[in-house]
Amino acid sequence: MAAILIVVLVMAASAATPTSACPFCGTVGQSLAQRRDAAAIVAVAEAEGTAAADPSSVLVQRFRIDQVLHDAAHASVVGTTVPARVAGPIAGTAVLFGTVIAAAPEAAADDLSWSAVAADETLLGYVAAAPATDLPAAERLRWFADRLEHPDPAIAADAFTEFGLAPFTAVHAAASALDPVRLQAWVNEPGIDARRRGLYGLLLGVVAAVGDPAVAHTCIDTLHRAVEAPADDFRAGFDGVLAGVLVAEGETGLDYLEHRGLFGRQARALDQRHLLAAVRFAAESLTETIPRGRILTATAALLASPAVAADATVDLARYRAWGTVAEVSRLWDMLGADDPLVRRAVAGYLTACPLPAAKQALEQIRLRDPERLQQALDAAALPAAR
């Protein structure tokens, strides 16, 4: 058990699937509603002067507070000028978020750390109206669903952030608020942001999974066309599209991806990285529709891919899938000769595995390659097998 925990804690950093709804969205940061609800004061202000880096290299600009939103108790700050962190220079109106940095009963302007976001009347109204963060997540997502790809870029980005932060169970519960026609258009739109395409592929799968058969058919057809489209060098959002297939079709989706050759040796390395991410998502979130055995088999199938062999091995250790000892041990000679990450993953898996076959495989590797085995064990921070 201890060896298993070591493998999970030391090696799973690159393999663990985030708990957010969209592990394909990258780091999304805080939403405006989160910043609003965490702030002591939210205010409307006007920029004064230009932005400049402070001694810690943070970009700061001064603002005159014109109005306090929601909380009249802090009206004393109106008319004061405060420095606020900005992502870039702001000309004109901004919404300011003030958080307390010193114990002060009335939270005067000097007792707050301020950050600012450029805002017009539309964004100010959005910040004021966005559902509170203590409401049920699915209820909140239904409000933000209509604002995905909003004409105001800041609102569109924030609605995306809200979906990127939400638990997948909440996204599933909010499926009725999602528009399948718009999602299909966004998945196919060449100019759509790559991270958003991944989210929209996932959401399209959710709509297909809970919609009526006619809606499901069109959604799945769109996902299949996205999978089968000619690949470019980056294949933007492809991991989310693949995950959408698995959400929509379950085991049948895995059969489809296998039929498309994505698990085979001839598949593009980048596509297989996307595929492994989708399979990880299935392992975390789709076990009710895709049996664990199928997920383990799909992960093991990627051991033959040089691009993802190390990560797939780590995933199998995380899943405690000890039925692949022979396949994993063969990687030492097949791919490990030129890849220290593969050697580290193999050493970690075999050390964690409780089966006698794993110990035998480690001893065989030790006999023919003792120095590199010890290097791999040391790199994985694992105790040498005895």
Whether 316 and 299 have beta carbons less than 8 Å apart is answered as: yes
pLDDT at residue 323 in the model: 95
Asked if the model's pLDDT at residue 230 lies above 50, the reply is yes
pLDDT band, very low/low/confident/very high, at 23 (cuts 50, 70, 90): confident
Which residues, in sequence order, are CB contacts of 9 under 8 Å at separation 6+? none
pLDDT at residue 71 in the model: 64
Amino acid at 220: I
Of 54-68, 233-247, 364-378, least confident by mean pLDDT is 233-247
170 to 77, 87, 101, 165, 166: CA distances (angstroms): 38, 30, 34, 10, 7
The rounded percent of the chain whose pLDDT value lies above 70 is 88
Q: What is the dihedral of CA 214, 253, 164, 139, to 10 degrees?
A: 40
Asked if the model's pLDDT at residue 5 lies above 60, the reply is no
Other C-beta atoms closer than 10 Å to the C-beta of 293 total 10
| Residue 142 half-sphere exposure toward CB, CA atoms < 13 A | 9
Q: Whose CA is closest to 287, among 17, 2, 8, 13? A: 17
Q: Whose CA is closest to 159, among 173, 145, 170? A: 145
CATH ID of 32-129, from 3.50.50.60, 2.60.40.1180, 2.40.50.140, 2.40.50.120:
2.40.50.120
pLDDT at residue 190 in the model: 81
pLDDT band, very low/low/confident/very high, at 236 (cuts 50, 70, 90): confident
Asked if the model's pLDDT at residue 386 lies above 50, the reply is no
pLDDT at residue 9 in the model: 32
Mean pLDDT of 152-176: 95
pLDDT band, very low/low/confident/very high, at 12 (cuts 50, 70, 90): very low
Q: Residue 11 and residue 25: Cα distance in Å, rounded? A: 22
Whether 273 and 307 have beta carbons less than 8 Å apart is answered as: yes
Q: Whose CA is closest to 119, among 187, 19, 36, 23? A: 36
Asked if the model's pLDDT at residue 104 lies above 60, the reply is no
Q: Residue 359 and residue 386: Cα distance in Å, rounded? A: 9
Relative to beta strand 112-118, strand 93-100 is antiparallel
Whether 313 and 345 have beta carbons less than 8 Å apart is answered as: yes
Whether 293 and 323 have beta carbons less than 8 Å apart is answered as: no
pLDDT at residue 211 in the model: 82
Whether 194 and 22 have beta carbons less than 8 Å apart is answered as: no
The rounded percent of the chain whose pLDDT value lies above 90 is 76
Asked if the model's pLDDT at residue 385 lies above 60, the reply is no
Q: Read off the pLDDT of residues 297-340 as tens digits, 9 standing for 90 and up.
A: 999 999 999 999 999 999 999 999 999 999 999 999 999 988 99
Considering 4-8, 71-75, 161-165, the range whose residues carry the highest mean pLDDT is 161-165
Q: Read off the pLDDT of residues 248-280 as tens digits, 9 standing for 90 and up.
A: 999 999 999 999 999 988 889 999 999 999 999
pLDDT at residue 2 in the model: 37
Asked if the model's pLDDT at residue 113 lies above 80, the reply is yes
Q: pTM of the entire structure?
A: 0.87
